[in-house]
A and B are shown apart, each in its own frame.
Chain A
Amino acid sequence: MKLTNEEKTAAIETSQRILSNYNQEKGSLIPTLQQIQNELGYVPSPAMEVVADHFNVMKVDVYSIVTFYNQFRLTPPGKNQVKVCMGTACHMRGGNIIMDSWKRRLEIDCGETSEDREFSLDRVACVGCCTQAPVTVINEEIHAKVTPTRVEGLLYAYQLDKDKENKKAGEDN
């Protein structure tokens, strides 16, 4: 994936700003990466280079960390992040069937972002709502007792929202 120049600049500036609040102790390395991830939604190469420089470690060591932990993404997430719970309770109530439905409807695999960057699909392990299984989290909202039909419904609702937005944007112009 190629970053645009704006994305590169944003990555570098954000990282530098975040780093200015941290000393050079290595214990702060992961917390800074987390903060970059929180702000940018991912940790691109230029950000990793800035971080490596600040903590005086090898670039490849920062890369090791970013590729090791689930939380960090190397590519930007979709505008809407769909996370399907694959915890034990959800699995037993057909979590994989729900995952399949999302894959089929979004036409992407787990861990991927759709081409228009509207959606990304991920798995999570138990969001603590096992009694409401199976669960899908969209952005921060938890949807309980999801069925394949419900997946259609959720996407439909999203489409309506988006149409409304477009229409509004059209009117505003």
Chain B
Amino acid sequence: MSNKSTAAATAFEQLKQKAAGTWNTLRDKPLIMVGAATCGRAAGAQDITKVIRDELASRQIEATVIEVGCMGHCYAEPLVLIQKPDNPTICYGYVSEGLASMLVREFIAGDDPCIEFALAAMEVNDFIPTFEDFPRGMVEKKVVMQHCGIIDPENIDHYIANGGYEALAKAIDKSGEEVVSEIKTSGLRGRGGAGFPTGVKWETCRQFKEDVKYVICNADEGDPGAFMDRTLLESNPHQVLEGLALAAHAVGASKGYLYIRAEYPLAVERIKKAINQAEESGLLGESILGTDFNLTLEIFQGSGAFVCGEETALIASMEGEPGIPRHRPPFPAEAGLWGKPTVINNVKTLSYIPHIIRKGADWFRETGTPDSPGTAVFALAGKVINTGLVEVPMGVTLSQLVYDVGSGIDGGKQFKAVQIGGPSGGCLPESFLETAIDFDSLNQAGAMMGSGGMVVMDEDDCMVEIARYFLDFTQNESCGKCTFCRLGTKQMLEILERITKGEGALEDIDTLLNLAKNVKTGSLCNLGKTAPNPVLSTLKHFRNEYEAHITEGRCPSLMCLNLIAYYILPDKCERSCDACIGSCPVESIFSNEDRIKVVDQEKCVKCKSCMDACPPQYSAVVKLSPPELVQEKENDNG
């Protein structure tokens, strides 16, 4: 490339200077950032913002308050970041309304940064540790989440000031072919589940000499326990748009869509704003940055069907049809939306693109493993202490995620398994804790990278029940077109329901295994082909739990409602306490002649209220399995 700056480069330089101006003036006075993505909002972030604004107003303090996205530390929501001139930026967690006004009073108005409430500092300093000083920070490596939670997602200048749209400005002067080749060299694999090489997909699409082509961002995130894509859309919408624009430039498309899940209203709103801002700045729309590259982006909202995440079903629904997958080939890259060559990529995949173009394929390959370069984003949930979103290099082990990032199991319980990949993934037991997290190792272990949902389970979680739960989900979400998925998952679910109710037979396990195998081979699309994974993996690693349900009518984890009973230990019951009686929603607990509380098993709906209500110093309520044990206990007590 010559040093002579092109028209596009000049145009972009102007945008950059303006953005730098906005960004730098932010630093002149105190800046308060409230994490207000959906997770933060649920924890009350908007009330916190209001308290802060009111408190500032009543004290007539000049400060900027902005709502930012999510940093991933969801366990500590609501989160507030304060940047005061001459101080490091400090992140506070578990912010209540009281703490919020105190921070304004003591730190903004006064001088006391209230260190005792700080989670960590954002920059290295002498008195507060940074996130990198904690085990979680040592494992984490942020690429696509780098700016989530520290820039205003509704302000394009914040994105540009942090390197945003530089990749587009750079690529627009190159040919699409060069962009494709850079992505190919980077080895980036699709983060939507299957891990297909993105560069190869783009190359296929690019080859077709058609006038009309489409690029689509798949933001239909349907895994019932994952919200990485939503967070990226809400916290850094421009990053996705830039990725989509680069994809369009690479394959020669001038029309793009973002297919966003129905339940994500905030994401839709933020993407809409971002598209408008980018168009106003000449980064989208007609003749982008003064070149002959045009791209219009539109939002298409899903209507609530998990299967629409599957690319051919997604296309069907955009064409005004029920979301029913069709046979591939042809692949969308050859014949997609309205029969035209179409590139479909996941939100995360697209979010990596600007970084790769800006910093180069070699930079990208420095992180991760040779076959799965880069980082992985997970929604860590379940029984770990620190839940939330994490971004780690591919290749870290499961145990690092559970113990370093998640800080181990909640409540001193015993780790049992981790479920990866949601409804299409599998459960891995303790012996797999050293498994590396990358596409191929997980596949080999019988799980799947899938969408990035990761649920940690402890001794109280029943593996049969978790298999039943996921199968119930896929069975419910099956489109119903093909025999194996429609009826095979239904038959499997029937069996699992029998087992969790204690009505199973040992030969059911063989039938289940056979069904699972056939549904995997016979189904038309990957929904069916992967639906048996949760069952297969639990059967492989926790067959003893299935057998306990079947032969003993016992749920070892005391979870399956039909196989447990609540029982009040007479010698522990404190007679003068009535806490359990009051807590029971169906009046199933009564006081006997000795004023000891007894559960009427006929009436009990097993809602666990009494167990939660019983003061911890007595802990008189216990669960028994099989439920027949109650009779035994009662006989023992005479």
Q: List residues of chain A with CB under 8 Å of any chain B CB.
A: 26-31, 33-34, 55, 57, 64-65, 68-72, 86-89, 91-92, 94, 96-97, 100-101, 104-105, 124-132, 135, 142, 144, 147-149, 151-152
User: Across the two chains, which residue of chain A brings its CB closest to B466?
Assistant: A92
Query: Which residues from 353 to 396 on chain B have a C-beta closer than 8 Å to any C-beta of chain A?
Result: 379, 381-383, 387-388
Top 6 A-B pairs ranked by shortest CB distance?
A: A88-B225, A70-B304, A29-B320, A69-B303, A125-B224, A26-B320
Question: Which residues 599-615 of B sit at the A interface, judged by CB distance below 8 A?
Answer: 605-609, 612-613
* Docked pose: A102 CA to B496 CA in angstroms: 25
Interface size class of B (residues with CB under 8 A): 35 or more
Q: Is residue B109 within 8 Å, beta carbon to beta carbon, of the partner chain?
A: no
Considering the complex, give the chain A residue whose CB is closest to the CB of B308.
Answer: A69
Complex CA gap A6/B383 in Å reads: 52
Asked if B225 and A130 make an inter-chain contact with CB atoms under 8 angstroms apart, the answer reads: yes
Q: Is the CB of B321 within 8 A of A65?
A: yes
B74 to chain A, nearest CB (A): 5
Contact status of A27 and B319, CB under 8 A, knowing A131-B75, A131-B387: yes
Interface contact A92-B455, CB-CB below 8 Å: yes
Contact, CB under 8 Å: A131 / B388: yes
Q: Which residues of B contact A144 (CB under 8 A)?
A: 42-43
The 8 Å CB contact of B42, one of A31, A88, A89, A128, is A128
A101 CA / B583 CA spacing, docked (Å)? 13
26 A-B residue pairings within 8 Å (CB atoms): A26-B319, A27-B338, A33-B303, A65-B320, A69-B305, A69-B323, A71-B304, A86-B224, A88-B224, A88-B382, A88-B453, A88-B469, A92-B382, A92-B461, A105-B585, A125-B222, A125-B473, A128-B42, A128-B230, A129-B39, A130-B379, A135-B42, A144-B42, A148-B608, A149-B613, A152-B585
Residues in chain A near residue B263, CB distance under 8 A: 124, 127
Asked whether, in the complex, the Cβ of A147 is within 8 Å of the Cβ of B612, the reply is: yes
Measured CB to CB, the nearest residue on chain B to A144 is B42
Question: Given A69-B305, A100-B605, list of 4 further CB < 8 A pairs?
Answer: A27-B318, A31-B300, A55-B320, A130-B227
Q: Are B317 and A128 in contact, with the CB atoms below 8 A?
A: no
Which residue from B74, B323, B457 sits with its C-beta under 8 Å from A68? B323
With A and B bound together, what is the CA distance between A68 and B478 in angstroms? 10
**A-contacting residues, B605-628, CB 8 Å:** 605-609, 612-613
Contact B609 A149 (CB under 8 A): yes
Closest partner residue, chain A, to B612 (CB atom): A147
Which B residues, 414 to 432, have Cβ-Cβ distances below 8 Å to chain A?
419, 422
B residues neighboring A (CB under 8 Å): 38-39, 41-43, 74-75, 77, 222-227, 230, 262-263, 300-306, 317-324, 338, 379, 381-383, 387-388, 419, 422, 453, 455, 457, 461, 466, 469, 473, 479, 561, 583, 585-586, 605-609, 612-613
Which single member of B38, B320, B466, B585 contacts A129 (CB below 8 Å)?
B38
* Distance, CA A78 to CA B582, complexed state (A): 30
Distance of A31 from chain B, by nearest CB (Å): 7
Query: When the two chains form their complex, are residues B43 and A129 in contact, meaning their CB atoms are under 8 A apart?
Result: yes
Q: Smallest Cβ distance from B100 to chain A, in angstroms?
A: 18
Q: Which residue of chain B is the closest to A67 with respect to CB atoms?
A: B322
Asked if residues A92 and B457 are in contact (CB atoms below 8 Å), the reply is yes
**B608 near A132: Cβ-Cβ < 8 Å:** no
Flag if A68 contacts B322 (CB, 8 Å).
yes
Best-surrounded residue of B41, B263, B318, B323 (most CB of chain A within 10 A): B263
Which of these, A27, A31, A55, A69, contacts B304 with CB under 8 Å? Answer: A69
User: What residues of A have a CB within 8 angstroms of the CB of B223 in the complex?
Assistant: 126
A125 to B474, CA, bound (A): 12
Assembled-state Cα–Cα distance A29/B321 (Å):
8
A30–B300 Cα distance when bound, in Å, is: 9
**Assuming A31-B300, A65-B320, A101-B585, is B608 touching A126 (CB within 8 A)?**
no
Which of chain A's residues has its CB closest to B299's CB? A31
- Whether the Cβ atoms of B305 and A68 lie closer than 8 Å is yes
CB distance from B52 to the nearest CB of A (A): 21
The answer to whether B317 and A30 have CB atoms under 8 Å apart is: yes
Q: Provided the pairs A28-B320, A128-B230, A144-B42 are in contact, do residues A71 and B300 lie with their beta carbons within 8 angstroms?
A: no
Q: A87-B225, A148-B585 are in contact. Are A132 and B320 (CB under 8 A)?
A: no
Residues in B with CB closer than 8 Å to A89 are: 225, 381-382, 387, 455
Which residues of chain A have C-beta atoms less than 8 A from B322's C-beta? 64-65, 68-69
A residues less than 8 Å from B318 (CB atoms): 27, 30
CA–CA, A55 and B43, complex, Å: 43
- Expressed in whole angstroms, the minimum distance between the Cβ of A82 and any Cβ of chain B is 15
The answer for the CA separation of A29 and B473 in the assembled complex, in Å, is 27
**Residues of B close to A88: CB separation below 8 A:** 224-225, 381-382, 419, 422, 453, 455, 469
Complex CA gap A125/B470 in Å reads 12
A148 to B606, CA, bound (A): 11
The answer to whether B42 touches A132, judged by C-beta atoms less than 8 angstroms apart, is yes
With a cutoff of 8 Å between Cβ atoms, the chain A residues found around residue B608 in the complex are 94, 97, 148
Q: Measured between C-beta atoms, what is the minimum distance from B77 to chain A in Å?
A: 7
Inter-chain CA distance A149–B227, complex, in Å, is 29
- B611 CB to closest chain A CB, in angstroms? 11
The docked-state distance in angstroms from the alpha carbon of A88 to that of B418 is 12
* B463 CB to nearest chain A CB (Å): 12
Report if A100-B39 is in contact (Cβ < 8 Å); known contacts: A27-B319, A68-B323: no
Q: How far is the CB of B386 from chain A (nearest CB, A)?
A: 9
B105 to nearest A CB, angstroms? 27
From the candidates B38, B39, B320, B422, name the one contacting A30 in the complex (CB within 8 A): B320
| Alpha-carbon distance A69/B609, docked complex (angstroms) | 35
| Across-interface contacts of B320 in A (CB, < 8 A) | 26-30, 55, 57, 65
Distance, CA A137 to CA B77, complexed state (A): 18
Taking A128-B227, A128-B230, A129-B43 as contacts, is the C-beta distance between A148 and B607 under 8 angstroms?
Answer: yes
